A and B are shown apart, each in its own frame.
Chain A
Amino acid sequence: MPASIDGNAGDGRAVDDSARPNKVSSKASNSVAKSPRNWNPAIRVAVFLACLLPFMTLVEAVATNSLGPDPAEHLMHVTGEWVMRFLVLVLLATPLARNGLPRLARYRRMLGLYVWFYATLHLLVFAQVYIGWSGEQLIEELGERPYVLVGFSAWLILVPLGITSAHTIRKKMGRYWRKLHKLTYAVAILGWLHLLWLSRSDVGDPVVYGVLFGVLLAYRLPWFRTKVRLKSDFS
C-alpha cells in the first residue's frame, strides 16, 4: 500500500503530481529523480532494519519468555500500536516529500508494507491466543464486537494493497493503481475507529491519533490543496 498515496512513484522518481492543479516541480525532487548517485542502498537497508526492530524485539521477548504472565495482551497491544505508527509514517511521507524531503517518497512502499506486516502479526496473535484458530469463534467475534469487525476489515483492505505494491503489477495497473491505493485512507480511518472502540477509561491514544490522521487526511482534501498546500509548496 505504500507507495504513493498521491500518485507519486513509490521509489521517488516523480515527486510532483500530474493531477495537481498547478504543476510545480521542485528543484530538489527533480535532482533526486535524476541523480542515481543520491541513491544509497545502505540507507534503504538501514531503514528496513529499523522498521523490523520492533518485531525482532518481540521475537526475542517471546523466545526468552520475558513478556510477563499474559503475553497475549502485550503482543496484541504492541503490534497494534506499530500498525498505527506505521500508518502515520506512511501518510506523513507524501507531505514531507513535497515539502523539502523528497527522498522520503521512496520509502512509502516499504512503510506501507510494514503496516500490512504488523497488522498481519496482530491478526495472527488474535487467532492464536484469543480465539484459538476457531472459525466459529471468529464469526462470533465479527458479529458481536464491532471493533473486531472494523479491525478485520482494515486488514482485508490491506491485502490487495500489499499484493499490488509489486512493481510489475503496479505498472500493469496504470492509473487504477493510484485509485486503489487511496484505500489507505480508509485503513487509517478504520484503524482509528478500532482504537476508539477499544478505549475504556482513557481516551489519550485515540485523541492523539485522531489529530494526526485528521491533519494528514485533511492535507489530501481538494480544498486543502488549493488553499493551503500550494502556498507551502512554493515556500
Chain B
Amino acid sequence: MSKNDWKTVPQIASSEITPESVWLNRRNLMKAAAAGAGLTAVGEAVAQAKALKELSFTEASDDTPFKATEDLTPYEAATTYNNFYEFGTDKSDPVRHADAMTTDPWEIKVGGLVDKPGKLHLEDILSGFDLEERIYRFRCVEAWSMVVPWIGFPLSKLLERFEPKAEGKFIEFKTLYRRSEMRGTRSFTSIIDWPYREGLRMDEAMNSLTLMTVGLYGKTLPNQSGAPLRLIVPWKYGFKNIKSIVEINVTDRQPKTSWQDLAPQEYGFYANVNPEVSHPRWSQAWERRLPSSLFNPNRVRTQIFNGYAEQVAGLYKGMDLARFY
C-alpha cells in the first residue's frame, strides 16, 4: 500500500447519509419481515429503538475525518450484531439479553490523578456537552467492519472538567459489572476477569477523533451498543471501544486491559488497526464490510490505522508497531 493511499481522507457527500426517515422506514419494513421470518433479534432491536430518546446534535462537517464517505451499515445490523461479552459470547446475545441492564440512573466516577475528582450523572452528560454526529469506520479484530453514525463529544472535553494532573499519562476505563443483570458474567466457563477494563495513552485520549459516545443513528445508544456511555476510538480495533462505562481514572502507568490480561500475545495495549501485523487468529489484511453475504462477501482491504493515519500516525512516530501491537 502506498503512502498516498492511506493519507487520503475519505470524502462524503451529505446526500450519501441515510436520512432518518429512510432508515426509520426500513426499520418498519424489517419489523414486518422479522415477524414473518422469526428474526427475533431484529424484532427486538426494532422494538427497543422506539423506546430510545431522540438526541439533538450537530453534524460533523463534510470533508473532514469525522465524516467517513462509505455506505452506512444499516441500523439493524449495527445493533443486532455485537460483541458485549457481559451478555454472552454470541453476536446475537447482546441484543437479546442486554435489556436486563439498568441504565437509569447511571453514574460515572472520574478519579485518579486529577485535581477535581468527582462523579458525572447521565443527565449531566446529555445536557452538559455539545453533541456531534460523526461517521466513523469501525473495525473489529475479528476482521469485520461497519460504518456507523455515532453521536457524542470529544473525550478531551470530559477530561478537561476534572483537570488531569501533569503526571497523568494514561486513562483507565471500566465497564459496569453487575452480575444480576449480566448473564455472560455468570457463565462459569468464562475466563474473563470482570469488570471489563480498557485504557488509552493520554495523547490518544486527547486526540480529537476520540469520542465519548452517547448515541447512534440520531438516538441514545441501545443497551447492546454500550448504553448509556461508551468510547469510540476509530483507529483502534473494536475491543478498545469500551462500553457502558462507570469509571474513568487518570493514571501514571499503563493500565492493564482485560484482553491483554487474558492473552497478552494476542491483544496488545495499543490495538491499532494494522493490516501488516496479523493476529494469531485472524489475518488483518482484509475485512468483511457488513452487511456481507455468502455470495458477495464484501471483502475490502484493511487500511493502516483504519484510514485515520493522517490524524494519528504521528502519535506513534518511532515506535515499532509490530512490537507495540
* Interface residues, chain A, with chain B CB atoms under 8 Å away: 62, 64-75, 125, 128-130, 132, 137, 140-141, 144-145, 147, 198, 200-204, 207
Contacts and interface: CB of A to CB of B under 8 A. Distances in A.
A145 B91 CA distance: 23
Contacts of A72: 288, 292, 294, 297
B86 to A, nearest CB: 11
B80 A68 contact: yes
A70 B81 contact: yes
B189 interface: yes
A202 B191 CA distance: 6
B277 to A, nearest CB: 12
Contacts of B286: 132
Given A140-B283, A145-B280, A71 B294 contact: yes
B288 A144 contact: no
A125 B295 CA distance: 10
A69 B290 contact: yes
30 contacts: A66-B37, A67-B294, A68-B80, A68-B91, A68-B92, A69-B74, A69-B76, A69-B80, A70-B81, A70-B292, A72-B292, A72-B294, A72-B297, A73-B142, A129-B288, A130-B143, A137-B283, A144-B280, A145-B280, A147-B281, A198-B281, A200-B89, A200-B263, A201-B191, A202-B85, A202-B191, A203-B189, A203-B191, A204-B187, A207-B189
B308 interface: no
B286 to A, nearest CB: 8
Interface string B264-295: 00000000000000101101001010111111
Contact of A68 (B81, B89, B192, B283): B81
Given A69-B290, A70-B81, A129-B292, 14 more contacts: A62-B294, A66-B39, A68-B42, A69-B291, A70-B144, A75-B294, A129-B297, A129-B299, A144-B280, A147-B281, A200-B89, A200-B263, A202-B89, A204-B190
B189 A68 contact: no
B81 A201 contact: no
A70 B91 contact: yes
Contacts of B190: 201-202, 204
A207 B290 CA distance: 32
Contacts of A69: 73-74, 76-77, 80-81, 290-292
B155 interface: no
Interface in B77-112: 77, 80-81, 85, 89, 91-92
A68 B77 contact: yes
A128 B286 CA distance: 13
Interface residues of B, number: 38
Contacts of B294: 62, 67, 71-72, 75, 125, 128-129
B120 interface: no
Contacts of B91: 68, 70, 73-74
Nearest to B140: A70
Nearest to A206: B189
B211 interface: no
Given A68-B41, A69-B73, A201 B262 contact: yes
Contacts of A203: 189, 191
Contacts, number: 86
A62 B291 CA distance: 13
A169 B294 CA distance: 36
Contacts of B288: 70, 72, 129
A79 B278 CA distance: 25
Interface string B152-191: 0000000000000000000000000000000000010111
A64 B81 CA distance: 18
Contact of B290 (A62, A70, A200, A201): A70
A66 B76 CA distance: 12
A65 to B, nearest CB: 7
A129 B290 CA distance: 12
A65, A67, A129, A201, most chain B CB atoms within 10 A: A201
Interface in B278-320: 278, 280-281, 283, 286, 288, 290-295, 297, 299
A68 B290 CA distance: 9
A137 B275 CA distance: 14
A153 to B, nearest CB: 18
B4 to A, nearest CB: 25
Contacts of A198: 281
A202 B80 CA distance: 21
Interface in B97-140: none
A79 B142 CA distance: 18
B44 to A, nearest CB: 13
Contacts of B263: 200
Nearest to B291: A69
B292 A71 contact: yes
4 closest Cβ pairs, A-B complex = A69-B77, A204-B189, A69-B291, A69-B290
Contacts of B143: 130
Nearest to A201: B192
B191 A65 contact: no
Nearest to A197: B281
B281 A70 contact: no
